[in-house]
Amino acid sequence: MQPLLIVLAAAYGAAAGLLVPRPLYRLAVEPEEPWRGACPRGHALTGPARGWLGPARCAGCRDGERGYGTGPVLAAVLTALVCAGLAAAVGARPELAVWLLLAPLGVLLTAVDLAVNRLPDVLTLPMAGGAAALLGAAALLPHSAGSWPRALLGGAVLGGAYLVLFLISPSGMGFGDVKLALTLGVALGWYGWDVLFVGALAGLLLGSCCAVGLVLTRRAGRRTAMAFGPFMILGRAPGWCWGRSAPDDIGARRADPAEMHGHPLTKRYGGNPPSGRSVLPPRTGPLYFGLLGHKTGGTYPTRSATKRDGTRSGTRSFGRPG
């Protein structure tokens, strides 16, 4: 299933990447200028979504002059690689659909920021709201591997941190970076606070290292404006790699107490694990399993305890009897 999932994600990414050059051409303008509404030869851009969707080709131009903007092949290959990497890292979980929907927008934002040092509100704000809403729906589905409340808090925390950095040094960071941080905080916070910390730190380190390198090679000065959005987006990858094991912890399947009778530890000790040994799956324990007692009922092994009558017990009841 995993190889097929990766291939399907790559095919989707390639198809979505073919649509990136047109909005990139329209959005890559200076802040004082309106979005482009015509091709370089003056023909109005028409098509779905008021001309925002479709290939970067103008039907009104002559053959050989219809293409405009960046080449679609590069955008398609890059988006396909991003989507394939997401599928390989996340697997068949509900939140993968959210990441695949956001991936082409992330590629588009990266290209716009590199072109004109700008992160348009028309992309950053809908991405933040869409990511929060879609992850809320994903959290309701089985096998989701994250926490929706923590994702919302992560967006607020990372957005607030970037807001503080913007207020401290407005010339060193744009307000578009603050709005992009909302989306990245939601995405990273979904998997854990450590993932959020590593992803945010990686983005800052990547941007700082690139800036130092440009200054040392005299390709930029200390006051030269630099696109920071791409490094924020790239920093999400190390954060997710750090928390790659998080789905096994957070999204673990709720085990049935009856299944524990077939666990290797149960068989090894003849159904009576020694004192202090648990037959629950790794990274779970009596507390985790006990939280489900109100639904399942039963017993779980725990440390031996001395009862009032002097006997010792190695089990403890939880929940209502089934």
Instruction: Find all residues with CB under 8 Å of 277, minimum gap 6, and list them.
Output: 265, 269, 301
pLDDT of residue 157: 95
Query: Cα(173)–Cα(165) distance, rounded to whole angstroms?
Result: 7
- The low-confidence residues of the chain, meaning pLDDT below 70, are 1, 240-322
The letter for the amino acid at 298 is G
Instruction: Find all residues with CB under 8 Å of 309, minimum gap 6, and list them.
Output: none
The tokens for 17 are 């990447």
pLDDT of residue 71: 81
pLDDT of residue 308: 47
Domain ranges of the chain: 1-92, 127-251, 257-318
What digits encode the pLDDT tens for the residues 159-204?
Answer: 999 999 899 988 778 888 999 999 999 999 999 898 999 889 988 8
Instruction: Find all residues with CB under 8 Å of 132, minimum gap 6, and list them.
Output: 151, 152, 155, 186
Task: HSE, CB side, 13 Å, CA atoms: give it for residue 256.
Answer: 5
pLDDT of residue 196: 92
Please name every residue paired with 44 in a beta bridge, in sequence order, or none if there are none. Answer: 38
